[in-house]
A and B are shown apart, each in its own frame.
Chain A
Amino acid sequence: MVTTYAVVRGTELSTPSRVASILNRNVSALRSGPSYWLVLFSGFFEPVLYLLSIGVGVGALIGNIEIGDKALGYAAFVAPAMLAVSAMSGALAETTFNFFFKFKYVKTYDGMLATPLKPTDIAIGELGWAMLRGSLYTGCFLIVMIAMNLTTPFWALAAFPATMLVGLAFGAVGMAISTMIRGWQDFDLVFTGQFAMFLFSGTFSPVQNYPLAVEILIGLTPLYHAVELVRGLATGVLGWGMLVNVAYLALMTVAGLMVASRRMAKMLLA
């Protein structure tokens, strides 16, 4: 997430036209650039680096953290959060930046709609790919967690579908947001939101430490629910509250898809 942000912020001095030309190149680079798959794959390392730095490095300065009635090492506390974050950022990378580009500039979808495909088909197809990319990251990350003894294979298997749900939820909402974005400058807002969630959704410290008002506010944001759900499953500390998390994410998926396909239909078929 930080990388995506950092790469984008590199262009902050640029006019939208320049960013567009950069992206124009990226699309051809996608096929020709030898480093594209390396770039795609290297996205997986980032949450791992955070886990090692904050989870293990800073964790060494910290004792245990209590979850429910279970005492967890700090790394085991941070790891599921990074897992949820990588599901989110993998899905968002596809559905915001790439989707917007295909939508506005390459006009990929205009061509598709000339066939019997419906906007809903396109939205679902894109979402599927976004979730796949997210799952690639989370699958690798779960293996790292097992290797580091931060979860067990059993609970890793339980957490994996949850990360898929997280990918779907963020992918769908990301796509809906993309249909509303006016220009490249709005991406700064998207990344700001993404980064603020990354720092404060109970990722690095329990939300119970924040003032009550802040805690309630965070409780309304999506990454919080993703982190709670994934952390519960990965650590094996289950609770009824997780059903709320699931419902929240499912609602995001459905609402995001509905808004996205409706707006796409309106914009493309108008």
Chain B
Amino acid sequence: MTQEPLIYARDLVKKFGDFTAVNGIDLEVAPGEAFGFLGPNGAGKSSTMRMIGCVSTPTSGELRILGMDPVRDGSRIRGRLGVCPQLDNLDPDLTVFENLTTYARYFGIPRSEGRRRAAELLEFVQLTEKADGKVEPLSGGMKRRLTIARAMVNEPDLVLLDEPTTGLDPQARHLLWERLFRLKQAGTTLVLTTHYMDEAEQLCDRLVVMDGGKIVAEGSPRHLIDTYSTKEVVELRFGSDTPASYVDKLEGIGDRLDPLPDRLLLYSADGEGAVSEVHRRGYTPSSVLVRRSTLEDVFLILTGRTLVD
């Protein structure tokens, strides 16, 4: 078994005219990993994904996918990828089942084998009873599941998921996560982009945070939290007072203070201790919440608030 990375990038750059979407990133994704790109809209996640999917040519830098050059061997690489794009592009003129069998033919899979896999995959994404129906009446979550099934039809070495749960309701998201988790358990290499922290924490072994076309942090979700945030976060509210007016007053408590319009975040290794200190200084917040630090805190620390839309 080769341990060569499935994705290898050095100083990868993508420009559209004067605009630099991806500005010199380095990446390595190993077989069996679940790897995530986290970042606000416009951070360069999708552009990177499109280069990995061999549908967009890098402007400069080195990129190797499955050990091959995407410019020269694009077609061969795509034959071993499964892609779930951000916008569904299922075929509205075909049935659910035909969407899979037709797609299988694009990979040169024999008809009978394509039918076998289609039936199996519909079972996997729990759409078997919709097999003969059209795509249009399916709900957003069902369509996304079908797209994922379609991405699996060639038994890919690497599955690319561009914002797989954007726009879905909570039930649909959880069902989708559960299916993706199973793929991961079965050893499929997943690469996904997301701007949902909970999604990244649920699914990714390792992730990079992108901002402005650059990678600003890299590691496992736990590692990122330990490195960039504190163990705990205290959320303080002060009735009708502006949280920002408390920044000076609470200076020195915890590692960092972050005023939001409605509350003040206080980063500290010891949340309860920090709360006691606040009271000791004579301030009585209208509400206090001590919680564990999440990836969301890391994300906000790293990418700033103004960028998030």
Q: Give yes or no for direct A-B contact (beta carbon below 8 Å).
A: yes
A residues neighboring B (CB under 8 Å): 13-15, 17-18
The 6 listed contacts between A and B (C-beta, < 8 Å) are A13-B93, A15-B92, A15-B93, A17-B134, A17-B136, A18-B92
Main secondary structure of the interface of B (DSSP, over half): loop
Within the complex, the shortest CB–CB distance from A104 to chain B, in Å, comes to 16
Residues of A with C-beta under 8 A to B92: 15, 17-18
Q: Residue on B with the closest CB to A14?
A: B93
Q: Which of B215-264 contact A (CB under 8 A)?
A: none
Main secondary structure of the interface of A (DSSP, over half): loop
B residues neighboring A (CB under 8 Å): 92-93, 134, 136
In whole angstroms, what is the CA distance A13 to B93 when docked? 9
Q: Residue on A with the closest CB to B91?
A: A15
In whole angstroms, what is the CA distance A15 to B134 when docked? 10
Within the complex, the shortest CB–CB distance from A165 to chain B, in Å, comes to 43
9 closest residue pairs by CB, A with B: A17-B136, A15-B93, A15-B92, A17-B92, A18-B92, A14-B93, A15-B134, A18-B93, A13-B93
Within the complex, the shortest CB–CB distance from A13 to chain B, in Å, comes to 7
Residues of A with C-beta under 8 A to B93: 13-15, 18
Within the complex, the shortest CB–CB distance from A10 to chain B, in Å, comes to 15
Q: Residue on A with the closest CB to B94?
A: A15
In whole angstroms, what is the CA distance A172 to B271 when docked? 76
In whole angstroms, what is the CA distance A13 to B94 when docked? 11
Q: Residue on B with the closest CB to A16?
A: B136
Q: Residue on A with the closest CB to B93?
A: A15
In whole angstroms, what is the CA distance A191 to B54 when docked? 45
In whole angstroms, what is the CA distance A14 to B136 when docked? 13
In whole angstroms, what is the CA distance A18 to B136 when docked? 10
Q: Residue on B with the closest CB to A20?
A: B136
Residues of B with C-beta under 8 A to A14: 93
Residues of B with C-beta under 8 A to A18: 92-93
Residues of B with C-beta under 8 A to A17: 92, 134, 136
Residue of A14, A17, A18 contacting most chain B CB atoms (<10 Å):
A17
Residues of B with C-beta under 8 A to A13: 93
In whole angstroms, what is the CA distance A17 to B136 when docked? 8
In whole angstroms, what is the CA distance A15 to B136 when docked? 10
In whole angstroms, what is the CA distance A91 to B92 when docked? 33
Residues of A with C-beta under 8 A to B136: 15, 17
Q: Residue on B with the closest CB to A18?
A: B92
In whole angstroms, what is the CA distance A14 to B92 when docked? 9
Q: Residue on A with the closest CB to B137?
A: A17
Within the complex, the shortest CB–CB distance from A166 to chain B, in Å, comes to 39
In whole angstroms, what is the CA distance A17 to B134 when docked? 10
Within the complex, the shortest CB–CB distance from A151 to chain B, in Å, comes to 49
Given contacts A15-B134, A15-B136, A17-B92, 8 further A-B contacts (CB under 8 A): A13-B93, A14-B93, A15-B92, A15-B93, A17-B134, A17-B136, A18-B92, A18-B93
Within the complex, the shortest CB–CB distance from B216 to chain A, in Å, comes to 40
In whole angstroms, what is the CA distance A15 to B93 when docked? 6
In whole angstroms, what is the CA distance A15 to B95 when docked? 12
In whole angstroms, what is the CA distance A13 to B134 when docked? 15
Residues of A with C-beta under 8 A to B134: 15, 17
In whole angstroms, what is the CA distance A15 to B92 when docked? 7
Within the complex, the shortest CB–CB distance from B202 to chain A, in Å, comes to 34
Q: Residue on B with the closest CB to A21?
A: B92
Q: Residue on A with the closest CB to B134?
A: A15
Residues of B with C-beta under 8 A to A15: 92-93, 134, 136
Q: Residue on B with the closest CB to A17?
A: B136
